[in-house]
Amino acid sequence: MEPEKKPPFRLTRVTIAATLAQLIPLIMLVATITVYSYLIAPNLDKEVYAEFATRIAKPIGWIAGTLATLAMAFWAARKAHNRQVIYGVATGVLVVLLDILSQTTANKPFDLIDILVLVAKLMAGTLGGYLAWQRYRNLPVEKRHTHRLI
C-alpha cells in the first residue's frame, strides 16, 4: 500500500493572509479618520485631525490587528488538510515578523504593550488555525470552499 501523499505547504496562502491581516487595520484607521474628519467633526484645523489620528492609531492597530490575524489565519487554514493549526501558527508568526519589521524600520522602541500585542497576534493566529480545524475536521476538502468564513 502506498503512503498518503501530503500536499505541499501553501506559503502563498499564508503570505496573503498575513498581508491582509496587516492591511485591514490600516484600512480601518483611514476609514475612522475619514468619518471623523468629514462627518463627526468637520471644518477643524489639520492639527486636530493629526492629533486624533495619532491618538486612535494604536488602539485600532492593536484590536483590529489581532482580530484580523484571527480571521486571516482561519482563512489560510481553511483548506489545509489536517494541518490547520500549523497554517494558523505560520500566519501568526508571519504577522508578528511583519510587525517587528515595521517597528524596527520606524525606529520606535518596543514597550510592554507592543510585546503583549505581538503575543496576542501569535495566539490569534494559532486560535484561527484551531478553529478551522474544529470546523472542517469532519468535512471533505472538496466541500470546504462552500462554507463561509464565520
Confidence (pLDDT) at 150: 41
Question: Residues 6 or more apart from 17 whose CB is under 8 A from it?
Answer: 72, 73, 75, 76, 91, 94
Residue-level pLDDT, tens digit, the chain, 150 residues? 555 565 678 889 999 999 999 999 999 999 999 998 888 888 888 898 889 899 999 999 999 999 999 999 999 998 887 889 999 999 999 999 999 998 888 777 888 998 999 999 999 999 999 999 998 877 666 665 655 544
For the entire predicted model, the pTM comes to 0.84
Return the C-alpha torsion angle 16, 22, 25, 28, nearest 10.
-50
Confidence (pLDDT) at 106: 74
**66 touches 99 (CB < 8 A):** no
